């Protein structure tokens, strides 16, 4: 009595590919923006870090993940021996190296 009957509206053209494309366009745009802002720079940093680790050589001065600064004494496949002081060496994984310092920084 108080509720009127609702009728569906008819459209002149059926909803096609353009309608569904407009629904997914914001999602696609968000993914593209996320890729260029977050994913691509992270991949670039990973690539640079891998190149730095592969280029390590004996005598390089490095900063290890825990903040230790030392000189590379021996190089293995996955382990480095870093000399922190005279006759003090620690073994660290290659991936633990955060930064290679310029020559002469560590004395």
What is d(CA 61, CA 57) in angstroms, rounded to the nearest whole number? 9
Handedness of CA 94, 98, 37, 23 (dihedral sign): positive
Q: Write the pLDDT tens digit of every residue in 23-75.
A: 888 999 999 999 999 999 999 999 999 999 999 999 999 999 999 999 999 99
Structure tokens at 93: 């994984």
Give me the residue label for tokens 């930064």: 99
Question: CB neighbours of 99 closer than 8 A, spacing ≥ 6?
Answer: 62, 63
C-alpha distances out from residue 17 to 21, 29, 89, Å: 6, 18, 66
pTM of the model: 0.69
Q: Sorting pLDDT into bands at 50, 70 and 90, what band is 14? A: low
């Amino acid at each position: 009595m108080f509720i009127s009957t609702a009728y569906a509206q008819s459209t002149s053209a059926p909803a096609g590919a353009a309608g569904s494309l407009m629904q997914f366009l914001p999602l696609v745009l968000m993914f593209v923006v996320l890729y260029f802002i977050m994913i691509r720079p992270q991949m670039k940093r990973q690539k640079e870090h891998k190149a730095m680790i592969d280029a390590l050589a004996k005598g390089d001065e490095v900063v290890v993940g825990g903040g230790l600064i030392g000189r590379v004494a021996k190089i293995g496949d996955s382990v480095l021996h870093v000399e922190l002081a005279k006759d003090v060496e620690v073994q660290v994984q290659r991936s633990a190296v955060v930064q290679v310092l310029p020559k002469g920084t560590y004395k």
